[in-house]
Amino acid sequence: MASIDLDSPTVTAGGDAAAPGKSRVTDGIAGLKSYGLLYGSSPVMLDLYDQIERVASTDATALVIGESGTGKELIARTIHDHSGRKDAPFIAVNCGAIPDELIEAELFGHEKGSFTGAVQGRIGYFEHANGGTLFLDEITEMAPVRQVKLLRALETGTFYRVGGNELIHSDVRVIAATNRDPAVAVKENGLREDLMYRLAVFPLRAPPLREREGDRELLAQHFLAALNTQESTSKSFSKRSIETLRTWSWPGNVRELKNAIYRAFILAEKTVELPHPHLASRVKKAVTQGDAMSVWIGTPLADAQKQIILGTLKYCGGDKRRAAKALGVSLKTLYNRLSTYGTDDAPEDGEP
């Protein structure tokens, strides 16, 4: 079976925008609407499509706010694809995954010899994205001291490369994203208030799946249809799967739904059985009590490691920087691990 690309590309040049089609019926799935790369017919999604359409035609900075897996990157990409910048690059940068001391050079470039290891000069993402869109994901993870230069670049459209003295101009539209409440991030996580206001000229909320009335089943049918087309199969959901789709709250949002369908699709001969995620993961879950955690004897090492990582992250209130420190790994390593985990496997509190 060929590998299936479950996530959209992060760096692309030249838009491949689908024509705006808010009322388009897709994949022959009755009632399923889409806009650009986004699928869903719930009232909150239709409202989001309208907002995207409005902001896409402008150059306004946008801030996409929403839980993990709600499609923040797809929203940014859809704005780009429907903007006048669609034929120029769309560059996605995960600010949280870049070590603090490198982020300035990554964003703005650096001159040869500007720091140890800078054997050659390099341009940064702001210059790469010239004419296009720069998507700054997990913006609240950027250290406050780095945010100052970003704010200046946003306000003036100019910046210096690290170690450079030539003022560089780049025509870039910035879209930022966060899975935290920005006001809370200002109070508790070091997001500068002035940067927050500058980014949130046009705030967009990516709704969690549990608020998207009727979308779970439509999206599930859409993902299954895509897999069937790709693999030339005609698999269908069992009745129980439909029930699971409706009753499970999908805390990991569209990403969790998509991955669950992919797993069940691979296992299925003809009928796709979605195991109820809560029941399926219950037995092997670690149990946390305060700052202690018990892992069942015989838990495979990789699973134990995953439970400890997710448990620590939860204990640290979702603060990845703190969790990485507590675990004795780099932030980058933590991100790498998290990107391979689904979010439906968090350990349970105090439950035997």
Ligand X SMILES: Nc1ncnc2c1ncn2[C@@H]1O[C@H](COP(=O)(O)OP(=O)(O)OP(=O)(O)O)[C@@H](O)[C@H]1O
Q: Which residues bind Mg ion (CB under 5 A)?
A: 73, 137
Give bridge partners of residue 292 from the DSSP assignment: 289
**Of 68-76, 141-149, 168-176, 237-245: span binding ligand X (CB under 6 A):** 68-76
Name the residue nearer to ligand X (CB basis): 164 or 214.
Answer: 214
Q: DSSP H helical segments within the chain, as ranges? A: 43-56, 72-81, 100-108, 125-128, 144-156, 182-188, 193-199, 215-231, 239-247, 253-267, 277-282, 301-315, 320-327, 331-340
Calpha distance 62→114 (Å, rounded): 32
Applying CB under 6 A, does 35 fall inside the site for ligand X? no
Spatial contact of 52 and 75, defined as CB atoms under 8 Å apart: yes
Position of minimal CB gap to Mg ion: 73
Applying CB under 6 A, does 344 fall inside the site for ligand X? no
Applying CB under 6 A, does 38 fall inside the site for ligand X? yes
Calpha distance 56→48 (Å, rounded): 12
Name the residue nearer to Mg ion (CB basis): 176 or 309.
Answer: 176
Name the residue nearer to ligand X (CB basis): 33 or 110.
Answer: 33
Q: Which distant-in-sequence residues (6+ apart) come within 8 Å of 173 by Cβ?
A: 59, 61, 80, 83, 85, 132, 133, 134
Smallest distance, ligand X to C-beta of residue 66, A: 6
Residue among 91, 95, 254, 272 that touches ligand X (CB under 6 A): 254
Applying CB under 6 A, does 68 fall inside the site for ligand X? yes
DSSP, res 12: E
Smallest distance, ligand X to C-beta of residue 110, A: 27
Applying CB under 6 A, does 141 fall inside the site for ligand X? no
State the residues that interact with ligand X by CB under 6 A: 6-8, 38-40, 66, 68-74, 137, 179, 206, 254-255, 258
